[in-house]
Amino acid sequence: MGASIYLKITALFAILTALLMAVGFAVGILLGSDPYIFMGLALVLAAVLNFVTYYYSDSIVVRMSRAKIINESDNPALFSAVRNVAQKANIPMPKVGIVDSPAPNAFATGRGPEKAVVCATSSILQTLTPSELEAVIGHEIGHVVHRDVLMSSVAATMAGAISYIGNIALFSMWFGGGSSNNRNGNAQILALVAIILVPIGATFVQLGISRDDEYNADEFGAKLTHNPGGLISALTKLESQVKSKGFSRNRGGRTSTGSSGPSPATASLWIVNPFRGSSLMELFSTHPSMPHRIERLKKIAREMSIYVP
């Protein structure tokens, strides 16, 4: 499995780096400068982003999610659940973190089993039974084992950089940036199309990775804990609670009670999207729809000869 994982990571690095370089090339054309210089700068930026994301994804995500790393004495029940599942998966004991939130949820981060952090919100123990909590931790350990967090972090970072550079280029062009003497009409049109479409493509790469990873982690957690029914029950409870108590994107990442929320950039890492959104926004969600996830888990339960109502 290890070789396959590293092949996927390498392919992701290559695809997103190529997209970033394409945006850099287009920016050079739009601004009337040497496009190859901008493409080279984009390559350097990609190298820096990939390096930082690879080696520091765990600490970056913990900080962005406003999680606090805790000791076993701070929350013995959560520590016990993480330890039990980690032993079943035969990986080192991850660090454990808590996010202060009235909406129960959980996520994992770290580039691999040796650098893993499993975090849960402060309200999750009041919402889930011990069996359901273990099923949720099984899902998160699945992300750790498959190194999904590293891939999601790279995809989110690179997609964000591509969109940011594209927006700067468009802003500069609209307000007179670049030299009109050096511009070629057809090249400008193609560059403009690239500036618009490449970030969209990068976003869909990110969404495709995130949704596929959620399905795989659901399956891993269900089989590892031998409890697909517990995961179905937990997901149903978590989604219901997030809809009523989750964070709102349009209010600076704060809940209706005013408590601080995580950065939207970490949304793909949580087992249930922590942000409340409209039906239109769900089309662009980093998570597959809950009915689809539950249907797949029921199919897995049937394959395991486990009855799930």
| Parallel/antiparallel/unpaired status of strands 275-276 and 117-121 | unpaired
- Chain centroid to Cα 56, Å, comes to 15
Terminal alpha carbon distance of the chain? 33
Indicate which residue of 140, 214, 219, 239 is catalytic.
140
214 is catalytic: no
The string of DSSP codes covering 9-75 is HHHHHHHHHHHHHHHHHHHHHHTTS-HHHHHHHHHHHHHHHHHHHHHHHHHHHHHHTTEEE--GGG-
From CA 194, how far away is CA 114, in angstroms rounded?
A: 40
From CA 263, how far away is CA 65, in angstroms rounded?
A: 6
Residue among 158, 159, 149, 167 at smallest CA distance from 65? 149
From CA 155, how far away is CA 9, in angstroms rounded?
A: 10
State the catalytic residues.
140
